Amino acid sequence: MIAVDVENRSGAEVDEPGAVELAGRVLRAEGIAAGELGIAFVGEEEMRTLKREHLGIDEVTDVLSFPIDGRDEVPDGVPRALGDVVLCPQVVGAEWRWPLTHGLLHLLGYDHGDEMEAREEALLAGVEG
């Protein structure tokens, strides 16, 4: 089972159940059947601070990923801590599905490029916005 902890600190209304459902679907499609995941929705200033502190870039962005275990082996009996995906609703607007999927794939070790883009398209095919 994938346990998803969602926190909304953004001040915006977000589709938390939809985010949990999409995250579970993406992770299962990637072969992850169990683990712990955090999803946080934050405002623009918090996102700017996170990007500055972790990437050294002083600007707001749509999504950041903070991987922990990813696809690494974990000892028996220890839950897989996938990490956290942080989204800024004020930047992503109504199109939050692609940034969430993008962030999840980063947790699993994907880097920007054709393979990641093709996987995003395949995972989001048929999902309504």
Residue 51 lies in a domain: yes
Beta bridge partners, 67, equal 83
Tokens of 9: 């600190």
73 pLDDT more than 90: no
1 pLDDT more than 90: no
Taking a C-beta distance cutoff of 8 angstroms, is the pair 79, 37 a contact? no
Residue 15 lies in a domain: yes
pLDDT (0 to 100) of residue 129: 45
Separation of alpha carbons 108 and 50, rounded Å = 20
Residue 53 lies in a domain: yes
Taking a C-beta distance cutoff of 8 angstroms, is the pair 47, 86 a contact? yes
Of 15 and 72, more confident: 15
- Residue 99 — very low, low, confident or very high, per pLDDT cuts 50/70/90? very high
Residue 129 lies in a domain: no
CA angle in degrees (0–180, nearest 5) for 8-97-120: 135
Residue 48 lies in a domain: yes
Q: Rounded mean pLDDT of 72-86?
A: 90
In the chain, how many domains are there? Answer: 1
Beta bridge partners, 66, equal 84
Question: Domain range spanning residue 105?
Answer: 2-122
- State the CATH number of the domain containing residue 20: 3.40.390.30
